[in-house]
Amino acid sequence: MIDHRKLGRELELFHSDPLAGAGLPIWLPAGAAARHAVEEYIREEERRAGYQHVYSPPVAKRQLYELSGHLPHFAEDMFPPMRLSADDEFALRPALCPHHALVYRSRGRSYRDLPLRIAELGGMYRAERSGVLGGLSRVRSIWLNDGHIFCPLDRAGEEVAAVLEMIRRAHAALGVRPAGFRLSLHGAGDKYVDNPPMWERTEDVLRGVLKDLGVSYVEAPGEAAFYGPKIDVQVVDVAGREMTLSTVQLDFHQAARFELSYVDRDGARRRPVIVHRSVVGSMERLFAYLIEVHEGAFPAWYAPVQLEVLPVGDVAVERFSRSAIAAGLRAEVSREGTLAARIRDAARRKVPFVAVVGPREATASAVNLRIRDTSDQLLPEPEALAALLARARP
Ligand SMILES: [Zn+2]
């Protein structure tokens, strides 16, 4: 049975230390390098799609979460508030939306500003019970690839469709196995904001997007967020189970709570809706999934070490490894031990490219290049580097 906790230990991707606390993993250099590559990819995709990135703190005054509705509807998933002084209480945030609503509100908005797309890869916290915590799949400290689109309700459908397309591309690049769509609707109970006409309208918008896409989907009553319906892009894990990484949610509630508005063409003040979306979900859940699906052998573009340079004898390889690093590859030189042992070690650590540089190759300015799962090729240095770079892009 493939288990990301075991692989995470063997490949030194992340570490859980009882002194730091359960569900509060530490990303080790190899895991951090892979995560960084994925974060860069997502940020670039978002930039191209017209998002603006912000930073906001993972802690805020408790009043912020009273206003957002998180404390009234979501308190049992939050850490208890922290008291700094009698009238100063803070909460670890359970979501980034309230801060992004404040970004929207930081100045007056007109219809020309919309859709306003705000993105952040930010930290947040959930008070998971210690019994359910394990590795990266269920954690208390979460780094979420988050984004919020503020727009009129009649523009929300096209924004949701654009997000679904971005998710499709990201899944293909990351090697995620898609398993279809789930339309999560509200259900009975006081967990949900009480506004039947808005539930109906927003659920219709999402249904319309899925219909226009021509994809099949299942409807799941009682799986919506408390503030609105959502489309969950389901993926299938190594055990064949369905799970959610990526989601698009249509929220008619928080904009009203925060009294967000914009001045429309005709001068009237109108209320936007908020599309909450995550292209790949949290870094923790994503990597728990990716480690298992790829059995630790990530696609080359986000492999922690992409190129292992193995000199034979005391041949000089510094120029080659320096040019590989300068070209953007994560490369390292390994000299200790026999060549066979070093090749085995690189394979064990799932390094996608191995370059053996012997005396013959050094004089010929060529490297004997092993690419994971392919046979050896003897290539001149510039060609070897170009071949690696071409395969190291998403
Ligand atoms: Zn949100």
The angle that helices 153-174 and 196-213 make with each other, rounded to 10 degrees, is 50
Please give all residues whose CB falls under 5 A of ion ligand 1, grouped by chain where several chains appear: 97, 276
pLDDT of 133:
85
Report mean pLDDT in 10-residue bins for the chain, 394 residues.
94 95 96 98 98 98 93 89 92 96 98 98 94 88 97 97 97 94 90 89 96 94 92 92 94 93 97 97 97 97 97 87 95 95 95 88 75 81 89 90
pLDDT of 105:
97
Backbone angles phi, psi at 234, to 5 degrees: -80, 145
Instruction: Report the separation in Å between the CA atom of 329 and the middle of ligand 1, taken as the mean of its atom positions.
Output: 34
Instruction: Report the separation in Å between the CA atom of 54 and the middle of ligand 1, taken as the mean of its atom positions.
Output: 14
DSSP string of 342-383? Answer: HHHHHHHTT-SEEEEE-HHHHHHTEEEEEETTS--EEEEHHH
Instruction: Report the separation in Å between the CA atom of 15 and the middle of ligand 1, taken as the mean of its atom positions.
Output: 28
pLDDT of 130:
83
For the whole model, what pTM was predicted?
Answer: 0.94
Instruction: Report the separation in Å between the CA atom of 34 and the middle of ligand 1, taken as the mean of its atom positions.
Output: 25
Instruction: Report the separation in Å between the CA atom of 93 and the middle of ligand 1, taken as the mean of its atom positions.
Output: 11
pLDDT of 364:
66
Instruction: Report the separation in Å between the CA atom of 10 and the middle of ligand 1, taken as the mean of its atom positions.
Output: 35
Pick the CATH number of 4-293 from 2.60.40.420, 3.30.930.10, 3.40.50.10330, 3.30.2290.10: 3.30.930.10
Instruction: Report the separation in Å between the CA atom of 229 and the middle of ligand 1, taken as the mean of its atom positions.
Output: 12
* Residue written as token pair 């070093």: 342
Is 384 exposed, middle or buried, given 0-12, 13-18 or 19+ CB atoms closer than 10 A? buried
Instruction: Report the separation in Å between the CA atom of 163 and the middle of ligand 1, taken as the mean of its atom positions.
Output: 14
Strand segments (E) across the chain: 14-15, 26-27, 52-53, 59-61, 82-85, 88-92, 116-125, 141-151, 178-185, 217-221, 230-236, 242-251, 262-263, 269-270, 273-278, 307-311, 331-333, 353-357, 366-371, 377-380
How far separated are the first and last CA of the chain, in Å rounded? 28
pLDDT of 77:
92
Architecture of domain 305-391: 3-Layer(aba) Sandwich (3.40)
Instruction: Report the separation in Å between the CA atom of 32 and the middle of ligand 1, taken as the mean of its atom positions.
Output: 25
Instruction: Report the separation in Å between the CA atom of 375 and the middle of ligand 1, taken as the mean of its atom positions.
Output: 47
Domain ranges of the chain: 4-293, 305-391
pLDDT of 329:
96
pLDDT of 94:
95
